Amino acid sequence: MIFARFRRLSLSLLTLVTLIGFTPVSLTAKTPRSAGASAAQTGEWKGFIAIDAADGKVLLEDNADLVTPPASMTKLMTFAVLHDKLRSGAISLGTPVKIIDADAKMGGTQVFLDPSETFPVEELIYAMMIQSANDAAHALARASAGSVEAFVELMNAKARELGMAHTTFRSPHGLPPASRRIADGDLTTPRDYAALCRYLLTKTDVLKYTSTKERDFGPNRPKGPQHMINHNKLLGRVEGVDGLKTGYTQGAGYCLSATALRNGHRVIVVIMGAFGPGGQIDKGVSRDRKTIDILERSFAALATAGGPAFTGATAPKPSPIFASPNTATGTPANTGDSLQTVKFTLPGK
């Protein structure tokens, strides 16, 4: 009987790995560590935290106050400042943004903006949140605040407003600084970023954008639209996940701010500085596996201890794709294969 139960559990774990498309490596495999050493010291991740979105209660944490780069998760604060601009009436979702050379030269992940193009604010927000487009983030920051420098000042003011005491922003996109020194770039902690995510989930419509799995950008471009696929591979694969944002640079490692809603409860997980075993560049596989584990354990804790129901916004139905005015030349990018849609929970949960 014991052998049969073990065999069933092994098959369940193998099925889990197959469903989410990860390579068949043990979910519990870890880099060897000395007695008493935390997982954050093994190089698999620098730190993480999980909180109840309803009241901010910490459910799980490990090295949650380590200061480290957020990479493209920076764009969540960019969205927060843009939301303030939209709410004040300074800009609207339909405000046209004329692209300039500085936007087009950002590099990294992008939608290949061209100085001959103009796009409405909302289309660029979708590009920033789905494609993680650095050029879109730069264009939005510049156009909404008059300059990127002025926008970054607003980002830091918002961080202070939210009590993010260990956070400093130096860009609207999260790319490494020209010096390549980590200390010169954007910096935060898992705890600070969980606070930002909770704010976004309770005070903004961020899920409208982060829950969108696929969307075309620039439908009127002469060479056709660029098909964007959300970088958050947990969307549609892990029960209840509808946001928020991934990030990666060599200095930051793989980062993810994730959230899921189940049975009226919402959990927020922020994991930063993740790599594969031995520091491998694994395209975020270890990060995603650990996030799934943290989500399952957090919901299990809520089921046992209870807690208030989440009363914030939920992900809306996808809005229709609309044409952008005055579009011009653009180059579609290869964004990868489409994702299989499945739902699951870990065995025994």
Q: What are 220's strand-pairing partners? A: none
Asked if 140 and 147 count as a contact pair (C-beta separation under 8 A), the reply is no
Please indicate whether residue 34 is annotated as part of the active site. no
Instruction: Report the C-alpha gap between 178 and 140 in whole angstroms.
Output: 21
Question: Of these residues, 132, 144, 211, 324, which one is catalytic?
Answer: 132
Please indicate whether residue 171 is annotated as part of the active site. no
Residue type, position 88, single letter: S
SS3 271: strand
Q: Which residues contact 165 (CB under 8 A, 6 or more apart)?
A: 192
Please indicate whether residue 324 is annotated as part of the active site. no
Question: Of these residues, 46, 72, 257, 298, which one is catalytic?
Answer: 72
Strand order of the sheet with strand 253-262? Answer: 58-62, 47-52, 265-274, 253-262, 241-249
Question: Of these residues, 46, 75, 85, 213, which one is catalytic?
Answer: 75
User: CB neighbours (10 Å) of residue 188?
Assistant: 26
User: CB neighbours (10 Å) of residue 296?
Assistant: 20
Do β-strands 58-62 and 118-120 pair in parallel, antiparallel, or remain unpaired?
Answer: unpaired
Enumerate the active-site residues: 72, 75, 132
